Amino acid sequence: MILVDTALKRRAAAGNPVQFALYGAGAMGKGIANQVLNHMTGINVPVICNRTVETAIAVYTSIGVAREDIVEVATSAALDEAIAAGRYAVTADPAVPAGAGRIEAVLDATGHVDYGAVVALHAIEGGKHIVLLNAELDGTVGPLLKTKADAAGVVLTGCDGDQPAVQINLLRFVETLGLTPRVLGNIKGMQDRYRTPETQAAFAKEWNQTPHMVTSFADGTKIAFEQAITANATGMTVARRGMIGPEHRGLIDEVAAMYDIDELRSLGGIVDYCLGGLQSAGVYVFAEAVDDLQTHYLKYSKLGDGPLYSFYVPYHLMIFEAPISVTRAVLFDDAAIKPDGAPKVDVIATAKRDLKVGETVDGLGGFMTYGLCETYAITRGDALLPIGIAEGAKLKRDVAKDQVLTYADVDLPTDSVAGRLRAEQDALFPLK
C-alpha cells in the first residue's frame, strides 16, 4: 500500500493514469467511482458497465461528470475513442470494456455470481486483470478462474477494503514478523439466519443498498463467502460446519483465549469470525510465537503471555481501498487475495424455512436459503449444493428448515454460466 501512492503519482506525472472498467452501478460502484474521480490521482475509471445504462449515467452525473461528457458505447473501438477524447462511457455489454485496448483492468462490484462469471470470462479473454469485489463469485468458482487467469497471464485478485483482503494484508504482515498464524477472523456485529428482504428493507433503504444484499450480510451468507475465500487463499480450514463464531462483547484480544491451541495446530489454522466484538468491524489474526525469544519480546511489546497473540485492523474501508487493488494488479502484478490451488472451503445452501417440492430457489440473501461454510472435502463427498449455483434450482423433494441442500434435492438450471464453471472446477480439482 505504501508503494501504491508513489506509483500512482508517477502515472499522473506521465499523463498516463491507470485505466480500469467498473462493472456495477450500485452503492459500491458509486462510491468507488467517486473515490477515483474526485479523490485520487494517477488512476481513472472511464467506463461503467451496467445492465441499465441510465443507472451508470446517473452515477457519473451524481459525482460531478457533466452529462455532455458521457457517451454510450456499443463496441470496444468506440470505448477506446471515448477514452482518447477524455470522455466517460457507459455500456450494457460486458464484452465491450474487456475488449478495449486502453483498459488495463476490470473491477466487478456487482456481487452477482452468474453475471460476475460472465464478466470474468470476458476479462480473461481480453487479457485484463480482474479485481473482484464479488466474494460470492470467488467463493463459488474462484480457484477455476485463477487457473484461467494464470494461463492468460493476468492477475485475479480480491479487493482491498473488503474483509478477506484486509485479513490477507494483515496475515502477510504477521508472517513477515516470523510468527505462525493460527486464526484468521472477521468481526461481525449481528447475525440472524432467518432474516429476509422484508425484514431488511428499511435498513437497505437507509444505506441505498438492495434488500437482498443486506439480507446476505445479516443471515451470515456474506461472511461465509468471505471466510471461504480467505481459507482458499491460505490453505486454512474451518473447525466445524458454519465455523465456531464465538460471541464476545469485549475486546477482540480477549477472544484469543477462547481457542484450543492444540486443535488449531492440528488443523493447520482456521478461518472464523467473532460476533459482537467491541471493535464492531474489521478483522483479526491470532498468531503463535515460534521460539521463546519471540515470546519474550512479544510480552515486552505488551501483547500478553500467549500462546496466541492478537493483531487486528478495526475497520475495512471498502470503496476507499478498492482502487488500491487495481493499482497493485496493474503496476505490481500483485494480488490482494487470490485462491491458492484447490478449494479448501465451500459455502453450502441451507434451508431458511421448510422448502417444498416444486419450488424454485431464489437468490442470495433471499427468503429460502442461507450459506454455511463447510470443507471442500465434505461438500464434494456428500454432494452438498454450493449456494452460489443454487439460484433457479427447482426442488425435487421437500427440505426441512436448517437442513443443507444436496445436488439430489434439486434440478439445476441449464443456462447458468456459474453452474457450468462449477462443474468444470469440480472436474479440475477432484477429491484425493
Distance, in Å, from the CA atom of 182 to the CA atom of 175, rounded to the nearest integer, reads 11
Q: What is the DSSP letter of 339?
A: -
Residues ≥6 apart with Cβ < 8 Å to 353: 194, 367, 368, 401
Looking at residue 347, its pLDDT comes to 98
Architecture of domain 2-158: 3-Layer(aba) Sandwich (3.40)
Looking at residue 279, its pLDDT comes to 72
The C-alpha cell 525469544 sits at 293
Reported CATH class of domain 345-428: alpha beta
Looking at residue 281, its pLDDT comes to 85
Chunked into runs of 10 residues, the chain (432 residues) has average pLDDT values of 88 97 96 98 98 97 98 98 98 98 97 96 98 97 98 98 97 97 95 94 86 92 98 98 94 94 98 86 95 96 95 93 97 97 98 98 97 98 98 98 98 97 98 84
Looking at residue 206, its pLDDT comes to 87
Where would I find the H helices in 235-370? 261-267, 292-300, 318-332
- Complete DSSP assignment for 152-197: HT--EEE-TTSHHHHHHHHHHHHHHTT-EEEEEEEEES---TT--T
Cell of 28: 459500491
Residue 214 host element (H or E): helix 211-218
Residues ≥6 apart with Cβ < 8 Å to 320: 35, 161
Distance, in Å, from the CA atom of 339 to the CA atom of 403, rounded to the nearest integer, reads 28
Domain map (residue ranges) of the chain: 2-158, 163-318, 345-428
Distance, in Å, from the CA atom of 36 to the CA atom of 34, rounded to the nearest integer, reads 6
Cell of 304: 500478553
Looking at residue 1, its pLDDT comes to 54
Residues ≥6 apart with Cβ < 8 Å to 270: 182, 183, 184, 236, 237, 238, 239, 243, 244, 264
